[in-house]
Amino acid sequence: MSDRPLVVIGDALLDRDVEGRVERLSPDAPVPVLDETAMRSRPGGAGLAAVLAAADGWTVTLVTALAQDAAGETLRTLLGEAGVDVVDLGLGGATPEKVRLRCGDRSLMRLDRGDRRGPVGPAPAAARAAIGWAAGVLVSDYGRGVAADPALRETLATAAGELPVVWDPHPRGPAPPPAISVVTPNEAEVLRVEPEPAGIGLAEATERAHALRRRWRAGAVCTTRGPAGALVVREGRAPFAAPAPLVAHGDPCGAGDRFASRLALRLAERLALEDAVVDAVARASTFVAAGGASDVLGKAAASMGELDLEGGLALADRVRAGGGTVVATGGCFDLLHAGHVRTLEAARRLGECLIVCLNSDASVRRLKGPERPLVPEADRASVLSALSCVDAVVPFDEDTPARALESLRPHVWVKGGDYRGASLPEERTLRRWGGRAVIVPYFEGRSTTRLIEEAADCV
């Protein structure tokens, strides 16, 4: 990693997800009624690309235009909390917002707010200086004017031969300046600019990409093709196709920003373009499978703020207040394995949040012996909190989670199917507030003890 920052240039938006339940139709129109249970805000557009790059451990400077309104202040706060330094050009209109109305894993509608007035004035010297000091640059254009600033474009054109510049274009934005390292349109954007020849097969996609590369005088064009991965074309070289791993489900929101930010980082590390594209495709696929921008950024917030009883209590109170179901489960989770993950995923589907009560190191030693745990409490908590199905982790020191449950008061307590036929010690505690215990299937062949024994045999 370079000591110099990655500079992200582009239009920042405020994205909001309104989560809720749909149980009836409106009496005045045949449309579903969404009963709101939660709302989450996060940076969008170039702001999302900057936050994702910062989450990868890089120092990031975002050159953007922010408005002086409530949404703009929220966006400033979110960017600051993510560790992103901002060079603000000033936005002439209202902060652009994209509001998704969601039920479960599905989006019902998107509401867009804000006008299209761009930056108030030309880019200040600080913005141009940031480019001169950068290890790499990502232009994340959302068609609202930042990428069209003449001073920024001139500075980028000068720097393009000396440092890697990735340009993620927008149909309403300007063409990139000449000599940009790599331009990353998606397949739909390529079709808008180069509608001929007909068809979207690999040969046609390659021909269109070469036409764009010549038109833009770019070093390379990398067309992102969704589940088909990415296609790279350069002059005098055979096209390079990077396939995407199969993703059975997920949320593609923000996948393009994840791809572009990762590609820019890897090029800033001076990785070869083809290798950087392969890594960026893999990261974008993982991002989609983990739930997209909403869940991934939500997990980042949870990992910072909800690894204790206080954070778990706050989450449980929010979900209860919105009429949702609070689900909890517990265990040591030493050497997390596939059986654990499948049990946690099954538990999460039973309500609106999942809180994991985690045995502390002292508790594990009393239950499992002096050689356990193999993985310290803080690391076990961090790994659990990174799972998209886990919303909070609450460590406890006792032999059972009874005291933690008394505080959290979940509606549902989940245990794996290896408890079938046995009475659960937590049931008496749950009855005090009307909670209930539920057993989910046990997944054969997964055992932490067995993993430890097999590892010992290999030594």
Instruction: Specify the amino acid at residue 294.
Output: S
Angle at Cα 222 formed by Cα 246 and Cα 96, nearest 5°? Answer: 85
**Residue 10, strand partner residues:** 140
* C-alpha span between 17 and 101 (Å, rounded): 6
- Residue with the two structure tokens 């050689």: 371
- Residue 285 makes CB contacts below 8 A (sequence gap 6+) with 244, 245, 247
- Residue with the two structure tokens 């999942």: 354
User: Is residue 193 packed enough to be buried (19+ CB in 10 Å), middle (13-18) or exposed (0-12)?
Assistant: middle
- Residue with the two structure tokens 């917002």: 97
- Residue 442 makes CB contacts below 8 A (sequence gap 6+) with 339, 343, 416, 417, 418, 420
- Three-state secondary structure call for residue 398: coil
Which residues are catalytic, by number? 257
Give yes or no for a contact between 263 and 238, defined as CB atoms under 8 angstroms apart. no
- Residue 167 makes CB contacts below 8 A (sequence gap 6+) with 139, 141, 176, 180, 182, 183, 184, 218
Give the DSSP letter of residue 414.
Answer: E
